[in-house]
Amino acid sequence: MQRLRRTRALVLLGALLAAACNGASADEVEVRMLDNTYAPAVVEVDPGEPVRFRNAGRVPHNVIADDGSFLSVDESGENTEPGDDWTLTIDEPGLYAYYCSLHATQDEEGSWQGMVGTLVVGDVADPVAVAADQSDAPAEWTGETRRVPEDHPTIQNAVDAADPGDLVLIGPGVYKEAVSVTTPGLVIRGTDRNEVILDGELTRENGFAVTADGVAIENITARGYTVNGFFWNGVTGYRGSYLTAIDDWVYGIYAFDSVDGLFEHSYASGSWDAGYYIGQCDPCNAVVTDVVAEFNGLGYSGTNASGNIWIVNSEWRHNVAGIVPNTLDSELLPPANNVVIAGNWIHDNGEVDRAPNRTAEWSAYGNGVVLAGVRDAVVRNNLIVNSPTSGVQVVSMIDEQFWPSGGNEIRDNVIRGSGRSDLALGGPLEEGSCIAGNDADTTLPFLAGTLHSCDGINLPLWYGLATASDPLARIAQVNAGQNPQLEHGEAPKPEMDFAQLPGGVDAPVVPAVDVFASLDFDPDTIVTPAMPDGIDIAEGRTTLFGIPLDGGFWPVLYGALLWWIPVLVWLLGGLWALARLWRGEKAAWQKAGWSLVAIGWPTVGVIAYTGLAADGWSWRRRLLVAVGGTLVWLLVAVGALLIGGVV
């Protein structure tokens, strides 16, 4: 899909201003620190030419030279936070390899893998990026078992000693370590999921950081890490089975820039971003199935994750929002597309006091499923209950660029107890998403099932800011400090009685090779979950033209500016236009034509009639009312977005 120009929608004016403020000047060399990636990874500059490293991601980063010659971390130990930058100038020609210590791992030879880059200063013969070579992951177990603590005192010792294809078998205990895995084809297994515990103690960064292909991790708990519990980065082939992630602060179970993977039979809670995350892959060839996520910002987040990605047959409960595929400029490979969300039991999201969150998570508050700037996704056969905002919400995404949603199908879901609407389609410039066959009572916009049908009429949704007003207002709430906050480790804790890996220590040892192709996975068998007994269905919220009246100052303000005013212009202006038309002296065909324009083209039709054809007015008066009124509304709306810190 070609990127749409931000000038296609008036509401994007603020985004243009923000982009202009954040962008590098034309003659400045810039490296963006995205989520787990430097972009570009290789930069060539002249000696003495400054390079600006700008954190365009959502988490802290740093820049550390392999040889120790430069370091972006300041004297207090602070990293470069999102939105901040750090400038480096090198006078001596040469190759300078660097890495982010938060998102890279070091193998036994001392080479860094993961978030790495190279700065080429001056004339250097055959400059290449410095990266560790990975051997092919073996598809079968070698027969060798490395036991912890019997053979090796720590998990890291066992992993470092292992050869490709070995089994690392971990006995019960609390292991206070952070494990880097750079050997391909390992299977790392706990003997007891509830008693083999990696403990970050709220100080260590990652429980497992894997940068080798084909690594499977099974039957283990990781708790209290400041970044991620289980993390695969830049790999082909990964599998996480029977894992428990508790209070891992950014993500619980996470695959980035990785393909051919499976997360199954796992649990994740207490992450401010997401319990499960798959990002920056196309095609991902990945499945998330039979998992539970609760007390997270998002149950699942998938930024720029596209192609053969299935989020199925799982439970998503008590998160700020449930399942949220999305498009952002903080990662490569936008936009997210071709995602399937099916067969899930999604309920009681919209958690306020027991789930940590930040800006993006709070903007999705109260939704079961959000498709944010996503293309060609399918949401089907889900049971979605008690969502304070919407069961399924489709919205465009404004980041550094504008990413409209489009081509999504919302089919055959059962939705109950939504606060605002069961199904919500939103613009601006939403392109062809549709709904059909859902067991749902309310839609936004009204009559969406008729006007935006997958099986009949499907009109474009060029405006549709009723839906978008809510996430924009939530961002303003965050900027005003109005979103509830939890500190790391304060989310509720589960009972440690999770299901074990079938077969335990004697289960087959299978490296994560050809994972997607080997799955016994038939999409046609996915059905809508049955409603459990004893579920209390929440009552809907009080709304006016689709805007909840109990949302607080910012949601009501943005709802008024972005939706109520345009609706009133359409309804009252339409009545005024009809009355003026049919009392005027235009020909009957002109009256009929302008009547269709005023009523059939919401808001814009009334403005067009006022500016071009209002009877009895001079052209100056027509333009003053039509253009002047539109500009006043636009300035007030953009001003409110600026004051709220949305743009």
pLDDT, tens only, 141-155: 999 999 999 999 999
Residue 314 and residue 401 in one domain: yes
Residue 559 and residue 614 in one domain: yes
Residue 325 and residue 472 in one domain: yes
Out of 88, 121, 154, a domain closes at 121
Tell me whether residue 276 is in a domain. no
Residue 109 and residue 164 in one domain: no
- What's the pLDDT at 470? 94
Residue 107 and residue 146 in one domain: no
Residue 483 and residue 340 in one domain: yes
Structural domain for 604, as ranges: 549-643
- φ, ψ for residue 7, nearest 5 deg: -75, 0
What b-and-e string marks burial along 550-559, b requiring 16 or more CB atoms within 10 Å of the CB? ebeebbbbbb
Phi-psi region of 489 (alpha: psi -120 to 50; beta: other; left: phi over 0): left
Give the pTM. Answer: 0.88
Tell me whether residue 196 is in a domain. yes
Query: Percent of the chain scored above 70 by pLDDT?
Result: 94
Residue 388 and residue 490 in one domain: yes
Count of domains for the chain? 4
pLDDT digits (tens, 9 = 90+) for 270-314: 999 999 999 999 999 999 999 999 999 999 999 999 999 999 999
Tell me whether residue 55 is in a domain. yes
Best CA proximity match to 101, nearest among 226, 1, 246: 226
| Helix 588-600 with 604-613: angle, nearest 10 deg | 140
**Do 233 and 114 contact (CB within 8 A), yes or no?**
yes
Residue 229 and residue 312 in one domain: no
d(Cα 300, Cα 249) in Å, to the nearest integer?
Answer: 14
pLDDT digits (tens, 9 = 90+) for 570-618: 889 889 888 888 888 888 898 899 889 888 888 888 898 888 888 788 8
Residue 324 and residue 438 in one domain: yes
pLDDT digits (tens, 9 = 90+) for 75-132: 777 899 888 999 999 988 888 999 998 888 887 777 888 899 999 988 876 655 444 4
Out of 244, 265, 286, a domain closes at 265
Q: What is the pLDDT of the chain when averaged over all its residues?
A: 90
Residue 311 and residue 213 in one domain: no
pLDDT digits (tens, 9 = 90+) for 426-445: 988 888 899 999 999 999 98
- What's the pLDDT at 23? 41
Q: How far apart are the first and last CA of the chain?
A: 25
- φ, ψ for residue 629, nearest 5 deg: -60, -40
Residue 490 and residue 358 in one domain: yes
Segments of the chain with pLDDT less than 70: 1-27, 125-135
Out of 220, 242, 265, a domain closes at 265
Residue 306 and residue 227 in one domain: no
For CA atoms 193, 195, 196, 202, give the dihedral sign.
positive
